Amino acid sequence: MGGIGTLGGVTDSPLLQIENLHASADGVEILKGVDLTVDRGEIHALMGPNGSGKSTLASVLMGHPDYKVTGGRILVDGEDITEESATRRANMGMFLAFQYPEEIPGVSVIQFLRQALSNRTGTDYTILELRLKVMEAMGRLGMESSFADRYLNEGFSGGERKRNEILQMAVLEPVLAILDETDSGLDIDALQTVAEGVNTLVSPERGFLIITHYQRMLVGSG
């Protein structure tokens, strides 16, 4: 995986295995026995109507504290991570692209990526080292270099926020990428940009779980 390392190394186990997963929020059961297997090199799509638990599944996979797992297991490379913290999961190489990315005024895209990558790898990158890495990733994604110095998501259009999520994936090089309705609210041009970005990041070592309402996203990233 791009020289950064993998989730415990390549094993014979599936990259992600969800077994009879049950989860609740505020005492209300939302996930009721979910089973799913994602192997390296695979792109899986999860579709369904509003309220069916798609975004809840994404949050539970990343260890969001608002959700309580009441049954079943989540395994990554055969390791049970059901009780692991969100920080631990992120540092292992799991990544969630949000449906509605937050603004962080005063923090530039490149500053954010420097801290995130340092946490991910345990290496304290200099601004120059990180800038070179970000510029290379932006070149692959066809993004303007000035984007790196803008404040994170501040004043960004919907398409720019989603492209920033793809840039984060390109720089952090996760092993398991979960996209939670990344296509939501995008026009056709922005959707194509996101789909092309996903295709750029597909590799035999990486798995994708794409949560979406629309088949149009799957056409672009298939």
Inside any domain, residue 160:
yes
Spatial distance between the Cα atoms of 17 and 77, rounded to a whole number of angstroms: 8
Q: What is the CATH number of the domain that holds 58?
A: 3.40.50.300
Name the β-bridge partners of 37: 17
Spatial distance between the Cα atoms of 108 and 208, rounded to a whole number of angstroms: 27
Is there a contact between 15 and 7 (Cβ–Cβ < 8 Å)?
A: yes
Prediction pTM value: 0.82
Confidence of residue 216 (pLDDT cuts 50, 70, 90): low
Which pLDDT value is given to residue 25?
Answer: 95
Inside any domain, residue 138:
yes
Name the β-bridge partners of 96: 178
pLDDT tens, position by position, 153-166: 888 887 788 888 88
Inside any domain, residue 44:
yes
Is there a contact between 81 and 104 (Cβ–Cβ < 8 Å)?
A: no
Based on DSSP, count helices (H) and strands (E) in the chain, helices before strands.
7, 10
3-state class (DSSP) for residue 71:
strand
Going from the C-alpha of 170 to that of each of 26, 121, 137, the distances in angstroms are: 35, 14, 6
Which pLDDT value is given to residue 1?
Answer: 27
What distance lies between CA 195 and its chain's CA centroid? 14
Both tokens of residue 180?
């939670």
Inside any domain, residue 157:
yes
C-beta atoms surrounding 35 within 10 Å: 10
Both tokens of residue 210?
């794409």
Inside any domain, residue 8:
no
Inside any domain, residue 115:
yes
Lowest mean pLDDT among 19-33, 35-49, 125-139, 203-217: 203-217
Per-residue pLDDT, averaged over 106-112, amounts to: 91
Spatial distance between the Cα atoms of 194 and 186, rounded to a whole number of angstroms: 9
Q: What's the domain range around 136?
A: 16-221
Closest listed residue to residue 19, CA positions, set 78, 63, 64: 78
Which pLDDT value is given to residue 5?
Answer: 37
Please give the tally of structural domains in the chain: 1
C-beta atoms surrounding 221 within 10 Å: 24
Which pLDDT value is given to residue 183?
Answer: 67
Inside any domain, residue 27:
yes
Inside any domain, residue 67:
yes
Which pLDDT value is given to residue 18?
Answer: 98
Residue that is written with structure tokens 């390791």 in the block: 79
Per-residue pLDDT, averaged over 21-46, amounts to: 95
Residue that is written with structure tokens 């369904």 in the block: 48
